[in-house]
């Protein structure tokens, strides 16, 4: 409901820098961009004005156990309370559907060109000067939700925090006052640390991107030993 | 901010007059949560505790715990239900059943510590909870739908936003009420519950059922089709950093490392080994998987014991319900049979004994023109066609299903078979008409706990160690990973009981004084830590670490349960204090059963337990000739007199009257339950 | 049953049964002559079941062959039979003393890990069942199979 308006605003904007990069996945173009290629060849100078993020979350949706431990951890580390709605990584599932289409993990892609940053009228949504992570300065947020609607992905990776009245998004755990570890692109990420299936990982390289997001295969032979598929598509029994 | 893990209020819904009220949680905090709170609410809200389970005054409580919806591993996702049951025989005892999934978390996020439902609607209804907005909705269009269809329909009704286009769904009208991507958590009945089957369950998502006791039939008797909840609020945690750190430490030390396990099954695709190693997807204990799948867990789990399959059949369903058609010739049909139960909302444990019916048929007793008339296709026994006909007749109350809908025990009684077949063991139902689960003549914390309580206890915390460990290792050609002596020592230390002889399952050990202490510990432990704080039965306690990286096999319990609880609540509860609350709850339950007609003379097993020797091997630790060993226990029977003597010592240990088994005033007052003593006394049922 | 087992070469072949023995040994027995077995499942404990033919027993004994798990038509379970009772049943009910003696001659240790017991027992049962089928002919095998599929295992 909340980000329905977003589609309209994207359509009105016409062809823009936003579609040039971040839109390739979310709008269904299906392009695949490699890190070196993107950084070295394609990026025009004006885009480079916003530094690339120093890190990205990768998920293996076929290894995910749907336990939402990542969500509980995210909410707790950032806010000191439990609320799946306030998690910046979202696991969405349908109990009755067939594997692997029964589940998606919706995490922020730290877009090379961040529409959310572009949309913010106050500079609250910004790239962290040291790590490049796209994040919210809560003090500057005026609650206009342009960032929420600007995110080209569905569901929006930028959320309205209704309890604290500001926008929020994944900051790679840069600002986690309720976690005793050092977070951020140069530190640890709580969801990566806590996932009991080791289905989330972190990379410094700009990942290959497809329509379904930043996917990776984190399943090794031990996973196959348990009778789970280890092929990329998750279609074959192991062995 | 510390709130004790509570969100502050309990929802009361009366379906007779449509009242929707709030009860302050604080009044019941002394009971912890879950079962304890449910029993305390039951005591206060049900004036006549002797009413039948179908009576409108029967109260259903669906309770969370302070740990629900939090990061505490395998303690976040269970919802504990209390109610007067329908299935126990000869009396439908006040009972309990819990289910996993995400209902408990969603309920907390909606701002409720639990739900209490009483009364009876004149027409079919469902309860719709969206944060603090609660409505009783017309369920006419849902009546007749199976449990999956009902949930999908309610998902669509409540939050079509997130089901249709994947966008955030706003709960409420303004943005400040919050948005979610999660579907509402729905617990519903199927046809079995609608038709008031005593063996009907409620089902949530694909495979989370509260089955034992016949809760589905209680829902049906109230014309209640389903309860749905969606929430966007927060649960305050007293010490977030401590909670995250404790979970990380716990997981690193005690969990199965999926990428580099310390101990791994010697054969691939052998999920049963997970009963030892706690590996994911181990739910299909019997069943190597034949198609690609993922592990799937309840909210906050660190194990993720079930699976979702590429067929979508038998999703999230790998506990006992997946064994319903264990005699099927292939996995595909077995999974289909599992979904038959789920969709109908039928509790597998009561309908498990189809082999008993087949035996009656082979004996020439049940079938066309026979003493028990039935046109079930027994010639197709062993095929999915038979299972379909079998389930169909029970949920529609046709053929012998008219009898079976009353439960297997009552059906056998009606057929004139109950006494003879439970004496021979042909119908192996040792306690209160419930199906035999673990061997009652050997694994006595299971059988004693059941007969001293209200149902088949279904508490696996020790069972995975004492029963399964050596059997599973042996099945794949391995010696035990830990000696019997080391095992009982670790259990004795972890429980706090101290004496390892409490876990001696030998002929002498099962009647000894240490066994009294072990059984007492088990009743108190499960009543508080497991059923009131909702630590998952398949994950806790953790007394032995088979995933140890350094050879130290000491487990996480009780240190970690206490650390987790105190991190969430800001309290400083000890393990022992929790056990004492467990004693209080267990005694409160006993008082309710006493009012219902319980007497020590009723707490006896079916005759076969005393008269027919065991035939199948077990693998329990036994102290024989001065040495500990894992022993098969073949040829064992229970001795009537010795068990009666055990009961006398057990009642005395609990502070109950040894002649009747009823709680005494002194004990009740010491547990701050003087008001319970008053009611027992006014009914002439106070222990002397 | 015969197609699912590879390692029967190591089994010492018994003298071929005659037609009468093969028919008797493979027949479906009455209730009174049923053979009791147990399945073990951690969710459910130990479950008793009754089997009514040699084919059902053979399939049951071979039920712990985990390597078959990926086959769609396969079913592997956690099964237990009392080997000494099986020997008695084969001699007295199935009427195959040679097979009963051969199993006794394996000296299966009842305290050995169950998989080790099954690994000894299974190939011998398969070998003998194959002999029955050879005597009875392919048509009988077909009808025996279809009859089995209606049985309890």
- pLDDT, one tens digit per residue, over B410-448 is 999 999 999 999 999 999 999 999 999 999 999 999 999
Secondary structure of chain C: what % helix, strand, coil (to 5)? 55, 10, 35
Which chains neighbour C (Cβ–Cβ under 8 Å, 3 or more pairs)? Answer: A, B
**Using CA atoms, how far apart are residues A73 and B119, in angstroms rounded to an integer?**
40
Average pLDDT over residues B515-541: 98
Residues 1-60 of chain C whose Cβ lies under 8 A from any Cβ of chain A: none
B687 DSSP assignment: B
Say how far apart CA B319 and CA B342 lie, in whole Å: 12
Task: pLDDT band for C42, please (50, 70, 90 cuts).
Answer: low
- Written as six digits, the tokens of B641 are 């007199």
Specify whether the CB–CB gap between B194 and B139 falls below 8 A: no
**DSSP 8-state symbol, B554:** B
CA–CA gap between residue B293 and residue A234 (Å, rounded): 8
- Token pair for residue B210? 């509260």
- Residue B135 backbone class (left: φ over 0; alpha: ψ -120 to 50; beta: rest): beta
- The pLDDT value recorded for residue C10 is 60
Give the C-alpha separation, C29 to C23, whole Å: 12
Distance between C71 CA and the closest CA of chain A, angstroms = 10
Tokens coding B271: 């999920």
Q: Do B176 and A165 touch (CB under 8 A)?
A: yes
Task: Name the residue in chain A with its Cα closest to that of C66.
Answer: A227
The answer to whether B292 contacts A235, with C-beta atoms less than 8 Å apart, is yes
For B84-106, write each residue's pLDDT tens digit: 999 999 999 999 999 999 999 99
Q: In chain A, whose CA is at the least distance from the CA of C72?
A: A237
The more confident residue out of B365 and A15 is B365
Q: Beta-carbon neighbour count of residue B554 at 10 Å? A: 16
CB atoms within 10 A of CB B579: 22
Which residue of chain C comes nearest to B319, CA vs CA? C43
Q: For residue C49, what is the enclosing H or E element?
A: strand C45-51
d(CA A116, CA A153): 11
Q: Give the chain C residue nearest B334 (alpha carbons).
A: C75
Better-scored residue on pLDDT, A173 or A2: A173
Separation CA B74–CA B460 (nearest Å): 14
**Partner-chain contact C45 B437, CB within 8 Å:** yes
CB pairs under 8 A between A and C: 3
Question: Which run of H or of E encompasses B208?
Answer: strand B208-210
Question: pLDDT tens for residues B559-596?
Answer: 999 999 999 999 999 999 999 999 999 999 999 999 99
Nearest-by-Cβ selection for C72 from B285, B290, B474: B290
Contact B234 A83 (CB under 8 A): yes
pLDDT at B189: 98
* B280 Cα to chain A: minimum distance (Å): 8
Dist CA B406 CA B414 (whole Å): 10
Query: Quick check: B166 and B319 in contact, CB under 8 A?
Result: no
Asked if the Cβ–Cβ distance from A76 to B296 is below 8 Å, we say: no
Nearest CA in chain A to C69: A227
pLDDT in tens, A211-231: 667 779 999 999 999 999 999
Give pLDDT tens digits for B202-234: 999 999 999 999 999 999 999 999 999 999 999
Residues 6 or more apart whose CB falls under 8 angstroms from that of B160 comprise none
Nearest CA to B629 among B441, B444, B486, B510? B486
Confidence band of C111 (pLDDT split at 50, 70, 90): confident
Length of chain A: 239
Whole-number Å distance between alpha carbons of B455 and C41:
20
Scan for tokens 């699976």, then name that residue: B307
DSSP string, chain A: -TTHHHHHHHHHH-S-HHHHTTHHHHTT------HHHIIIII--HHHHTSPPPS-EEEE-TTT-----HHHHHHHHHHHSEE-GGG-SSEEEE-TTSPTTTTEEEE-----SS-HHHHH-SSS-EEE-TTT--EEE-TTT--S--HHHHH--SSS-SSEEETTTTEEE---TTSS-TT-SS-BSTTSB-HHHHH-TT--EEEESSPPP-BTTBSB-----HHHHHTT---STTS-S---
Lowest mean pLDDT among A115-124, C24-33, C110-119: C110-119
Token duo for residue B443: 């694994």
- Parallel, antiparallel or unpaired: strands A90-93 and A103-106: antiparallel
User: Using alpha carbons only, what angle is made at residue B328 by residues B324 and B330, rounded to the nearest 5 degrees?
Assistant: 120
Neighbours of chain A (3+ CB pairs under 8 A): B, C
Question: Among partner residues A2, A84, A237, which is closest to B291 by beta-carbon distance?
Answer: A237
With a CB cutoff of 8 Å and minimum separation 6, the contacts of B49 are: B42, B43, B84, B94, B592, B595, B596
A228 touches chain B (CB under 8 A): yes
Q: What's the pLDDT tens digit per position in A183-206? A: 999 999 999 999 999 999 999 988
Contacts (Cβ under 8 Å, ≥6 apart) of B395: B190, B191, B192, B195, B197, B344, B346, B401, B405
How many C-beta atoms surround the C-beta of residue B468 within 10 A? 23
Contact B387, B351 (CB under 8 A): no
CA distances in angstroms from B337 to B285, B317, B324, listed in the order given? 17, 11, 7
List CB contacts of B87: < 8 A, sequence separation 6 or more.
B198, B199, B212, B213, B214, B347, B350, B407, B409, B433, B434
pLDDT at A239: 76
Chain C nearest C-alpha distance from A80 (Å): 37
pLDDT at B503: 98
Distance CA(B159)–CA(B204), nearest Å, equals 17
CB C53 within 8 A of CB C26: yes
Size of interface B-C (CB pairs under 8 A): 140
CB B127, CB B138: distance < 8 Å: no
Residue of B380, B615, B618 with shortest CB distance to C36: B615
Cα–Cα distance for residue pair A59/A47, rounded to 1 Å: 26
Measured between alpha carbons, how far apart are the two ends of chain A, in Å? 45
Contacts of C29 in chain B (CB under 8 A): none
**Which of the 8 DSSP states describes residue B678?**
H
- Collect all residues of chain B within an 8 Å Cβ-Cβ radius of residue C41: 285-286, 320, 323, 326
Region at A194 (left for phi over 0; alpha for psi -120 to 50; beta for the rest): alpha
Indicate the range of A30-34, A82-86, B321-325 predicted with least confidence: A30-34
The pTM assigned to this predicted structure is 0.93
Annotate B494-511 with b (16+ C-beta within 10 A) or e (fewer). Answer: bbebebbbbbbbbbebbb
State the pairing for strand pair A166-168/A159-161: antiparallel
Taking an 8 Å cut-off on Cβ atoms, the answer to whether B269 and A225 are in contact is yes
The minimum CA-CA distance between C39 and chain B, rounded to whole Å, is 9
| Strand residues in B596-644 grouped as ranges (E) | 620-624, 627-631
Q: How many CB atoms lie within 10 A of CB C109?
A: 11
Instruction: Decide if A72 and B296 are in contact by the 8 Å CB cutoff.
Output: no
Q: How many Å is the Cα radius of gyration of chain C?
A: 15
Cβ separation C43–B331 shorter than 8 A? no
- CB-based contact (8 Å) between A64 and chain B? yes
**Residue A169 backbone dihedrals phi, psi, to 5 degrees:** -160, 170
Q: Which residues are CB-neighbours of B531 under 8 A, at least 6 positions away?
A: B34, B35, B36, B80, B96, B98, B585
SS3 B57: coil
Report helix, strand or coil for C77: coil
C residues 53..72 contacting A (CB < 8 A): 69-70
Sign of CA dihedral A187, A191, A193, A197: negative
Across the strands, what pairs with B229?
B129, B185
Q: Distance between CA B501 and CA B517 in Å, rounded? A: 10
Binned at pLDDT 50, 70 and 90, residue B400 comes out as: very high
**Nearest to B309, CA basis, from B331, B330, B278, B328:** B331
With 0-12 CB in 10 A as exposed, 13-18 as middle and 19+ as buried, what is B45?
Answer: middle
Radius of gyration (C-alpha) of chain A in whole angstroms? 18
Residue of B nearest to A196 (CA): B302
**pLDDT tens-digit profile of C64-101?**
554 554 454 555 567 788 999 999 999 999 999 999 99
Does the structure show a pLDDT above 80 at A43? no
Residue A156 and residue B244: Cβ atoms within 8 Å?
no
Q: Check residue B623 and give its pLDDT.
A: 98
Per the CB < 8 A criterion, the answer to whether B395 and B346 are in contact is yes
């Amino acid at each position: 409901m909340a980000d329905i308006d977003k589609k309209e605003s994207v359509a009105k904007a016409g062809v823009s820098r936003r579609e040039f990069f971040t839109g390739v996945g979310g709008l269904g173009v299906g392009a695949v961009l490699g890190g070196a290629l993107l950084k070295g060849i394609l990026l025009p100078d004006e885009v480079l004005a916003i530094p690339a993020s120093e890190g990205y979350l990768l998920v293996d949706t076929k290894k995910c156990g749907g336990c939402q431990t990542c969500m509980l951890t995210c909410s707790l580390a950032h806010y000191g309370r439990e609320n799946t709605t306030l998690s910046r990584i979202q696991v969405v599932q349908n109990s009755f559907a067939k594997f692997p289409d029964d589940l998606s993990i919706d995490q922020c892609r730290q877009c090379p060109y961040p529409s959310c940053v572009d949309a913010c009228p106050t500079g609250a949504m910004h790239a962290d000067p040291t790590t490049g992570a796209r994040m919210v300065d809560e003090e500057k947020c005026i609650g206009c939700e342009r960032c929420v609607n600007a995110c080209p992905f569905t569901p929006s990776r930028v959320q309205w925090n209704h309890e604290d009245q500001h926008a929020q998004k994944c900051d790679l755990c840069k600002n986690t006052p309720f976690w005793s570890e050092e977070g951020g692109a140069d530190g640890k990420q709580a969801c990566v640390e806590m996932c009991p299936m080791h289905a989330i990982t972190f990379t410094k390289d700009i990942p290959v991107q497809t329509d379904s997001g930043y996917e990776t295969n984190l399943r090794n032979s031990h996973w196959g030993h348990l009778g789970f598929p280890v092929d990329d598509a998750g279609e074959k029994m192991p062995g | 901010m510390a709130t004790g893990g509570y969100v502050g209020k309990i929802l009361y819904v009366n379906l007779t007059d449509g009242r929707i009220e709030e009860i302050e949680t604080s009044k019941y905090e002394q009971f912890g949560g879950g079962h304890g709170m449910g029993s305390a609410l039951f005591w206060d809200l049900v004036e006549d505790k002797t009413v039948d389970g179908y009576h409108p005054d029967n109260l259903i409580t669906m309770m969370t715990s302070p740990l629900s919806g939090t990061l505490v591993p395998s303690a976040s996702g269970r919802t504990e239900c209390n109610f007067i049951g329908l299935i126990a025989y000869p009396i439908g005892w006040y009972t309990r059943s819990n289910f996993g999934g995400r209902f408990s978390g969603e309920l907390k996020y909606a701002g409720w510590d639990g739900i209490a439902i009483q009364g009876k609607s004149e027409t079919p209804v469902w309860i719709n909870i969206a944060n603090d907005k609660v409505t009783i909705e017309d369920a006419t269009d849902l009546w007749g739908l199976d449990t999956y269809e009902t949930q999908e329909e309610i998902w669509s009704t409540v939050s079509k936003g997130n089901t249709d286009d994947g966008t955030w769904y706003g709960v409420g009208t303004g943005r400040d009420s919050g948005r979610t991507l999660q579907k509402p958590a729905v617990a519903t009945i199927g046809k079995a519950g609608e038709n008031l089957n005593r063996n009907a369950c409620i089902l949530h998502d694909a495979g989370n059922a509260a089955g034992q006791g016949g809760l589905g039939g209680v829902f049906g008797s109230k014309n209640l089709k389903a309860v749905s909840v969606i929430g966007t609020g927060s649960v305050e945690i007293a010490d977030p950093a401590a909670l995250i750190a404790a979970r990380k430490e716990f997981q690193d030390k005690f969990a199965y490392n999926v990428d580099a396990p310390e101990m791994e099954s010697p054969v691939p695709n052998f999920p049963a080994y997970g009963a030892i190693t706690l590996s994911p997807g181990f739910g299909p204990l019997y069943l190597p998987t034949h198609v690609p799948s993922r592990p799937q867990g309840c909210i906050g789990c660190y194990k993720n014991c079930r699976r979702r399959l590429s067929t979508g059949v038998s999703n999230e369903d790998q506990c006992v319900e997946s064994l319903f058609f264990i005699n099927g010739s292939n996995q595909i049909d077995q999974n289909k049979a599992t979904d038959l139960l789920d969709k109908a909302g039928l509790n597998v444990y009561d309908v498990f004994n189809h082999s008993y019916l087949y035996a009656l048929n082979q004996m020439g007793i049940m079938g066309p023109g026979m003493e028990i008339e039935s046109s079930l296709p027994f010639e197709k026994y062993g095929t999915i066609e038979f299972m379909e006909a079998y389930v169909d007749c029970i949920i529609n109350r046709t053929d012998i299903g008219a009898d079976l809908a009353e439960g297997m025990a009552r059906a056998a009684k009606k057929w004139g078979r109950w006494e003879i077949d439970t004496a021979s063991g042909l119908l192996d139902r040792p306690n209160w008409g419930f199906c035999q689960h673990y061997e009652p003549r050997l694994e006595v914390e299971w059988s004693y706990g059941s007969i001293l309580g209200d149902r088949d206890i279904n508490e696996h915390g020790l069972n995975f160690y004492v029963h399964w460990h050596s059997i599973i290792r042996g099945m794949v050609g391995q010696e035990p990973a830990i000696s019997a002596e080391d095992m009982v020592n670790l259990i004795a230390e972890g429980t706090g009981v101290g004496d390892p002889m409490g876990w001696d399952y030998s002929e002498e050990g099962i009647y000894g004084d240490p066994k009294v202490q072990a059984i007492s510990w088990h009743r108190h432990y499960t009543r508080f830590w497991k059923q009131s704080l909702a630590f998952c039965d398949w994950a806790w306690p953790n007394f032995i670490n088979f995933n140890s990286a350094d050879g130290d096999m000491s487990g996480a319990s009780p240190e970690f349960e206490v650390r987790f609880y105190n991190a969430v609540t800001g309290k400083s509860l000890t393990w022992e204090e929790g056990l004492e609350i467990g004693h209080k709850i267990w005694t409160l339950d006993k008082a309710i059963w006493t009012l219902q007609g319980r007497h020590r003379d009723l707490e006896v097993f079916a005759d076969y337990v005393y008269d027919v020797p065991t035939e199948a091997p077990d693998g329990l630790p036994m102290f024989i000739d001065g040495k500990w060993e894992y022993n098969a226990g073949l040829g064992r029977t229970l001795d009537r007199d010795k068990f009666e003597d055990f009961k006398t010592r057990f009642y005395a240990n609990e502070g109950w009257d040894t002649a009747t088994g009823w709680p005494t005033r002194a004990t009740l007052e010491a547990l701050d339950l003087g008001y319970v003593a008053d009611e027992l006394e006014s009914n002439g049922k106070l222990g002397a | 049953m015969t197609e699912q087992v590879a390692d029967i070469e190591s089994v010492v072949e018994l003298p071929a049964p005659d037609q009468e023995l093969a028919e008797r040994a493979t027949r479906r027995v009455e209730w009174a002559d049923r053979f009791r077995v147990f399945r073990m499942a951690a969710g459910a404990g130990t479950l008793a079941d009754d089997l009514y033919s040699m084919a059902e027993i053979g399939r049951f004994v071979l039920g712990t062959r985990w390597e078959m798990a990926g086959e769609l038509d396969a079913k592997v379970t956690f099964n237990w039979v009392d080997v000494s009772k099986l020997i008695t049943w084969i001699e007295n009910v199935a009427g195959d003393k040679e097979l009963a003696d051969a199993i006794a001659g394996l000296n299966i240790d009842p305290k050995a890990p169950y998989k080790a017991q099954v690994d000894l027992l299974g190939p011998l049962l398969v070998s003998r069942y194959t002999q029955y089928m050879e005597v009875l002919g392919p048509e009988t095998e077909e009808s025996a199979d279809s009859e089995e599929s209606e049985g309890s295992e």
